[in-house]
A = this chain, B = another copy of it.
Amino acid sequence: MVDVDTERTLELLWGTGQRPRRGPKPALSVAKLAEVAIGIADAEGLDAVSMQRVAGALGYTTMSLYRYVPAKEQLIEVMADRAAGAPPEPGTGDWRSEVERWVREMWAIYAAHPWLLHVKLSGPPMGPGQLAWFDAGLRALSGSGLPGDEMVMAFLFLNGAVRELARVIGDIARARQRAGVTDAQAEAGYAKVLRDHADAERFPTLARVVAEGVFDPAPAEGMIPDLEFGLRRLMDGLQAYARSRG
């Protein structure tokens, strides 16, 4: 059973729901609202997306938007689904490189639309965009030979790591930009904070790692190293597990 609210949201996401028979032709559309709103969010973040802002950009009054969308929340759900775009087409590589490709492309989406990671979800993925990425991730993982349920579990775990790393790294980088601090300055500052506060009795392992210079400024290249390392180890583990299972 699907409740009324979900029904309405599904209509907005999939563009189903019949056209009204009478009355003036609508000048706008949910797609148009979402498009403009995505532009604002890309440029200035999700907080800059207000109903007045979107309406103003379209040349209409704030309240006119409520003829297309029951509330701001639904507009944002539609934005999120559309901004996700199309996942990569199936490639020809082995499953590990397919998974890496999925991660890279997902990462690129989050770089283009950082606000995607700040949308509060009210349910599991249901829109065409979300489902397409879900499918593509499962497709890449399916080469590993895992059964369906474990494939889904592996997907959720990996997806979680990608999303949270993208969020953290993106948020911090943007906060630095706003503060007008270079990456090197910020990293040097953080290294100093850690040296000042991470004393060896209270935080022994952290202190050891700090002393090793792990947090000293270093140029990052390629995919984010933290993500790449974890991803490779996870795939190692998945591979060994699948093999041991026949």
Contact = CB atoms under 8 A, between A and B. Distances in A.
Interface stretch (A18-26, A31-39, A64-72, A127-135): A127-135
Contacts of A171: 120-122
How would you classify the secondary structure of chain A's contact residues: helix, strand, loop or mixed? helix
A48 interface: no
A185 interface: yes
Given A6-B189, A152-B209, A179-B5, A168 B237 contact: no
A138 B209 contact: yes
A179 to B, nearest CB: 6
Interface in A204-223: 204-209, 212, 214
A198 to B, nearest CB: 6
A142 interface: yes
Q: How large is the interface on A (under 10, 10 to 19, 20 to 34, 35 or more residues)?
A: 35 or more
A1 B152 CA distance: 45
Contact of A230 (B120, B153, B164): B153
A204 B139 contact: yes
A189 B156 CA distance: 20
Interface in A140-187: 142, 148-154, 156-165, 168, 171-172, 175, 179, 181, 185-186
Given A5-B179, A118-B120, 18 more contacts: A1-B185, A1-B189, A3-B179, A10-B193, A121-B168, A121-B175, A124-B172, A126-B197, A128-B197, A134-B206, A135-B204, A154-B229, A160-B161, A160-B230, A233-B234, A233-B237, A237-B240, A240-B240
